[in-house]
């Protein structure tokens, strides 16, 4: 038995840990620990980046990495699941029946077998062998992490909950989410837009709590570039290279502005799958933006903050993707507002909850190149507009997106549902 076994523990299942694009989750874990929650992280795969944010070092939670491959992980899966079956055959068979009952809803049925085996691994390796005293399980993202969470909680005979974010809500069969909501003790989501969608499609039986991710406002302050921006303007985008981010719309809007004589430099932070990376690089070249565009790839959060410090406008062209995927409220939008960088974006999903058109930023419809170009230009050249929205945005983000206050709200939600906390 480990020291950890003496404490009632909140098990948190993540797709991967740490992930450079998920600072909101690491910040949440760090602040929940400060509130007195004892957390054990279960990562469904090893980290894919060779670096992480500095905030990760402040997290005390131990991490159990689950076997992620049915091929290479099969010996471990077999060893721990056979042992678990021998110790609790009735419970294990009931979990298998639960898995079987959900097969009809699974697009890739073999992955659900893996998720069941990962849950068995958690129960045998972490709970029974290592003595982690799990009292509650929580999954981050409503798709595969919550599936593993649900099975592990069933095997451990404890309640579970989950946080639904964006893609995990809108690209799943609603029946699959409905099943998880029905079995969960409660659900958390990060925008009012998401909460309303869930209430309409699967809500009614279990509480669905809306808690914004928030940002660490201690890291941000106005960048001091002043109300009047100077040429060449510095325009910034931070985004994964995926369809829903609307990067093609952004690039075409920038090409339009350049053809009209706007003097700017553009920094695009992020990357995606190789095919999408090549597509973006080709579009930049075809639009004649090579000499004014810097592609940084994936960088640390500290580097993003440094870029915000030299930026005059942040822009993002979010859209609803063909498969239904869409953003919530990208944290970098809040970070831009906290740094005094005007936000120009599309009015998709939860973005208007933070960026109010003409008040705390500028919005336009998605996929509208001319409209996006227009608001980017205005955010750079209209000094009266900048003087109005920059302080208003800063005030709004401090009111709505202070992660310390929001995590306290989240912690109280956990406590209200019986999740143990030492403070």
What pLDDT shows up at residue 176? 86
Residues of the chain with pLDDT > 90, as a percent, come to: 79
What pLDDT shows up at residue 3? 45
Residues 6+ apart with CB under 8 A from 355: 333, 337, 343, 345, 361, 362, 363, 393
3-state secondary structure at position 321: coil
What pLDDT shows up at residue 294? 98
What pLDDT shows up at residue 4? 46
What pLDDT shows up at residue 23? 78
**Mean per-residue pLDDT, 266-279:** 94
The pLDDT confidence band at residue 175, using thresholds 50, 70 and 90, is confident
Output the DSSP codes for 42-104.
EESS--SSS---GGGGG---EEEEPP--TTTTHHHHHHHHHHHHHH-HHHHHHHHHHHHHTGG
Helix/strand/coil percentages in the chain, nearest 5 = 50, 15, 35
Q: How far apart are CA 311 and CA 315, in angstroms?
A: 11
Q: Give me the sheet containing 160-164, strands edge to edge.
A: 62-65, 39-43, 8-14, 133-140, 160-164, 186-189, 208-210
**Mean per-residue pLDDT, 89-100:** 94
Per-residue pLDDT of 187-223, as tens digits, reads 999 999 999 999 888 766 788 999 998 999 999 988 8
pLDDT above 50: residue 232: yes
Q: What residue has token string 């009209």?
A: 260
Give me the chain's average pLDDT, please: 92
Q: Are 260 and 229 in contact (CB under 8 A)?
A: no
More confident residue, 361 or 301: 361
140: which DSSP letter? E
What pLDDT shows up at residue 393? 97
What pLDDT shows up at residue 112? 76
Q: How far apart are CA 417 and CA 215, in angstroms?
A: 25
Beta carbons within 10 angstroms of residue 2's beta carbon: 12
φ, ψ at 13 (rounded to 5°):
-95, 125
What pLDDT shows up at residue 56? 80
Q: Are 45 and 118 in contact (CB under 8 A)?
A: no
What pLDDT shows up at residue 355? 97
Closest Cα to residue 300, out of 30, 53, 22? 53
The DSSP element (H or E) to which 138 belongs, if any, is: strand 133-140
What pLDDT shows up at residue 5? 46
Q: What residue has token string 């969960």?
A: 184
Q: Is 344 exposed, middle or buried (0-12, 13-18, 19+ CB in 10 A)?
A: buried
The pLDDT confidence band at residue 423, using thresholds 50, 70 and 90, is confident
**Mean per-residue pLDDT, 124-136:** 96
More confident residue, 6 or 161: 161
Q: Is 114 exposed, middle or buried (0-12, 13-18, 19+ CB in 10 A)?
A: buried
161 has which bridge partners? 138, 186
Tell me if the bond preceding 104 is cis, omega within 30° of 0: no
pLDDT above 70: residue 105: no
What pLDDT shows up at residue 18? 83
Per-residue pLDDT of 236-263, as tens digits, reads 999 999 999 999 999 999 999 999 999 9
pLDDT above 80: residue 173: yes
Q: Are 374 and 380 in contact (CB under 8 A)?
A: no
171 has which bridge partners? none
Domains of the chain: 3-214+402-416 (3.40.50.2000), 217-400 (3.40.50.2000)
What pLDDT shows up at residue 364? 98
């Amino acid at each position: 038995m480990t020291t950890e076994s003496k404490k009632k523990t909140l098990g948190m299942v993540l797709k991967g840990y740490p992930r450079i694009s998920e600072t909101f989750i690491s910040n949440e874990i760090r602040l929940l620990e400060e509130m007195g929650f004892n957390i054990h992280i279960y990562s469904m795969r090893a980290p894919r980046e060779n670096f992480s944010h500095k905030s990760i070092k402040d997290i005390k939670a131990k991490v159990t990495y689950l076997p992620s491959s049915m091929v290479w992980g099969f010996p471990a899966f077999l060893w721990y699941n056979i042992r678990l079956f021998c110790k609790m055959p009735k419970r294990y068979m009931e979990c298998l029946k639960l898995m079987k009952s959900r097969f009809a809803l699974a697009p890739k049925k073999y992955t659900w077998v893996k998720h069941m085996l990962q849950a068995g691994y958690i129960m045998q390796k972490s709970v029974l062998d290592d003595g982690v005293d799990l009292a509650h399980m929580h999954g981050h993202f409503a798709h595969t992490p919550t599936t593993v969470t649900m099975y592990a909680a069933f095997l451990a005979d404890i309640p579970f909950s989950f946080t639904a974010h964006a893609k995990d809500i809108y690209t799943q069969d609603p029946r699959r989410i409905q099943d998880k909501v029905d079995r969960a003790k409660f659900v958390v989501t990060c925008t009012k837009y998401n909460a309303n969608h869930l209430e309409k499609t699967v809500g009614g039986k279990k509480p669905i709590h809306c808690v914004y991710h928030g940002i660490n406002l201690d890291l941000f302050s106005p960048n001091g570039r002043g109300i009047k921006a100077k040429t060449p303007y510095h325009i910034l985008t931070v985004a994964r290279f995926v369809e829903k981010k609307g990067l093609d719309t952004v690039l075409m809007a920038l090409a339009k502005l350049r053809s009209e004589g706007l003097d700017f430099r553009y920094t695009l932070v992020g990357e995606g799958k190789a095919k999408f990376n090549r597509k973006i690089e080709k579009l930049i070249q075809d639009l004649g933006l090579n000499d004014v565009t810097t592609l940084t790839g994936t960088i640390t959060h500290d580097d993003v903050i440094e870029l915000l410090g030299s930026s005059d406008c942040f822009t993002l062209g979010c859209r609803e993707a063909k498969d239904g995927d869409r953003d919530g409220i990208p944290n970098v939008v809040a970070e831009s507002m906290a740094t005094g960088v005007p936000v120009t974006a599309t009015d998709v999903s939860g973005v208007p909850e933070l960026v109010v058109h003409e008040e705390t930023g500028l919005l336009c419809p998605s996929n509208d190149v001319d409209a996006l170009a227009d608001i980017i230009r205005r955010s750079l050249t209209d000094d009266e507009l900048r003087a109005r929205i920059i302080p208003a945005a800063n005030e709004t983000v401090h009111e709505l997106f202070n992660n310390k206050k929001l995590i306290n709200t989240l912690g109280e939600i956990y406590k209200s549902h019986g999740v143990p906390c030492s403070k």
